[in-house]
């Protein structure tokens, strides 16, 4: 497959042949006095992608997506949406651009005094749609998000998951090209979170909507995102496709986020611990037992798990290796599977 390389000052995005760069961010910085929230971000987001943004609280994730849709003005740098420079537009023109950008928040942002129908209708009213069109569109949207029986229900009677479904319906009511999601599963239980993620994935596939998905929840990130950027102190420190990021994180923060949050391993150990990573097709290869038979080593399996990352099963083993032939055994394992020193 041929690829195009998109520049990102020290980082690169690999784009599928035929992909269009729809969001271009150049040298974007946001500061409040001496406090720099977002620091010189360069980023391209291709049409139809699901991009995850992960990082600790205060890393600048939410501020970044608020500058993408013009809710926050940058101190310096530029944001281009469909080749239109949005941070210099007058408010009236910016409102037109925002029609192509839907946004969903953690706290749903529904109006308690309005029922489901009228909460969704708000977006259509702002766009100037007539009642006949709105009635038909709302019917389609509620069918899509699975809330048809709740059309006249009020937010106080809805569960958290149902409220988020209403928010999603409202966000996509005007057929946006982009959907910005800011911690949209953080207030939900795990089962409901996966239901919302499945819905977002379906929307992406049905309408080719580009999704920017901000979350501190790596379970959600690995489930829905095709690409991930890791932010720390307002900067992008790592970017990769989701599979490669989880298999072989490069930065200290990414390693900490993935290894500690995904596998809950202690970083304090008296021996070297190795992470062995293998794809589903490699799972029948008994590399551990082979290495133990061939070489004079003892391999202690500390932890293991198979997880699904973006529709692919990935196996992780954390092992201790000791014995006279330790280096030879490690070289053998590396010839068969991915092996990295964890501790």
DSSP-assigned beta bridge partners for residue 5: 14
Q: Any alpha helices (H) in the chain, and if so which ranges?
A: 61-68, 91-98, 116-126, 131-145, 160-171, 190-207, 218-224, 242-247, 252-263, 287-294, 326-336
pLDDT score for 269: 54
Residue with tokens 């949050």: 261
Fold of 265-341: Alpha-Beta Plaits (3.30.70)
Tell which residue, 11, 6, 38, has the closest CA to residue 23.
6
Per-residue pLDDT of the chain (343 residues; tens, 9 = 90+): 333 333 333 333 334 444 566 899 999 999 998 899 999 999 999 889 999 999 888 899 999 999 998 889 999 999 999 889 998 888 888 888 888 999 999 889 999 999 999 999 999 999 999 999 999 999 999 999 999 999 999 999 999 999 999 999 999 999 999 999 999 998 899 999 999 999 999 999 999 999 999 998 888 998 999 999 999 999 999 999 988 888 778 888 887 777 654 455 555 556 788 888 877 666 677 888 899 999 999 998 888 877 777 777 888 888 899 999 999 999 998 888 888 877 5
pLDDT score for 265: 56
CA distances from 243 to 46, 219, 240, 312 (A): 18, 13, 8, 8
**267, 343 contact by CB (below 8 A):** yes
What b/e sequence results for 201-221 when a residue is b if at least 16 CB atoms lie within 10 Å of its CB, and e otherwise? bebbeeeebbbbbbbbbbbbb
Q: For 75, phi and psi rounded to 5 degrees?
A: -75, -40
**98, 81 contact by CB (below 8 A):** no
Looking at the domain covering 3-250, what would its CATH class be?
alpha beta
**229, 42 contact by CB (below 8 A):** no
Q: For 220, phi and psi rounded to 5 degrees?
A: -70, -45
**178, 208 contact by CB (below 8 A):** no
Question: How far, in Å, CA of 337 to CA of 31, rounded?
Answer: 45
CATH 3.30.70.260 domain range(s) in the chain = 265-341
Tell which residue, 314, 284, 288, 312, has the closest CA to residue 299.
288
CATH 3.40.50.300 domain range(s) in the chain = 3-250
249: DSSP letter: -
């Amino acid at each position: 497959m041929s690829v195009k390389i998109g520049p990102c000052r020290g980082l690169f995005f690999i784009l599928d042949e035929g992909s269009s760069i729809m969001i271009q961010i150049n040298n974007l910085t946001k500061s409040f006095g001496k406090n720099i929230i977002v620091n010189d971000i360069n980023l391209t987001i291709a049409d139809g992608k699901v991009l995850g943004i992960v990082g600790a609280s205060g890393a600048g994730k939410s501020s970044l997506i608020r500058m993408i849709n013009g809710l926050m003005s940058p101190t310096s740098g530029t944001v281009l949406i469909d080749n239109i420079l949005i941070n210099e537009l007058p408010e009236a023109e910016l409102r037109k651009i925002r029609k192509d950008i839907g946004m969903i928040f953690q706290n749903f942002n529904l109006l308690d005094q309005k029922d489901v129908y009228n909460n969704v209708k708000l977006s259509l009213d702002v766009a100037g749609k007539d009642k006949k069109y709105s009635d038909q569109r709302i019917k389609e949207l509620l069918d899509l998000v699975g809330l048809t029986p709740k059309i006249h229900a009020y937010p106080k009677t809805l569960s958290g998951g149902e409220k988020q479904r209403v928010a999603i319906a409202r966000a996509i009511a005007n057929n946006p090209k982009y959907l910005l999601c800011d911690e949209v599963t953080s207030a939900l239980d795990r089962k409901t979170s996966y239901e919302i993620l499945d819905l977002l994935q379906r929307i992406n596939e049905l309408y080719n909507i580009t999704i920017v998905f901000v979350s501190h929840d790596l379970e959600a990130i690995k489930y829905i995102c095709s690409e991930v950027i890791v932010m720390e102190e307002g900067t992008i420190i790592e970017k990769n496709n989701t599979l490669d990021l989880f298999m072989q994180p490069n930065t200290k923060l990414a390693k900490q986020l993935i290894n500690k949050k995904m596998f809950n391993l202690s970083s304090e150990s008296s021996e070297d611990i190795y992470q062995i990573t293998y794809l589903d097709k490699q799972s029948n290869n008994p590399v551990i037992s082979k290495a133990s038979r061939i070489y004079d080593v003892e391999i202690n399996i500390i932890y293991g798990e198979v997880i699904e990352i973006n529709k692919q099963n990935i196996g992780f083993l954390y092992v201790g290796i000791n014995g006279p032939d330790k280096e030879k055994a490690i070289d053998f394992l590396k010839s068969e599977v991915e092996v990295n020193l964890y501790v």
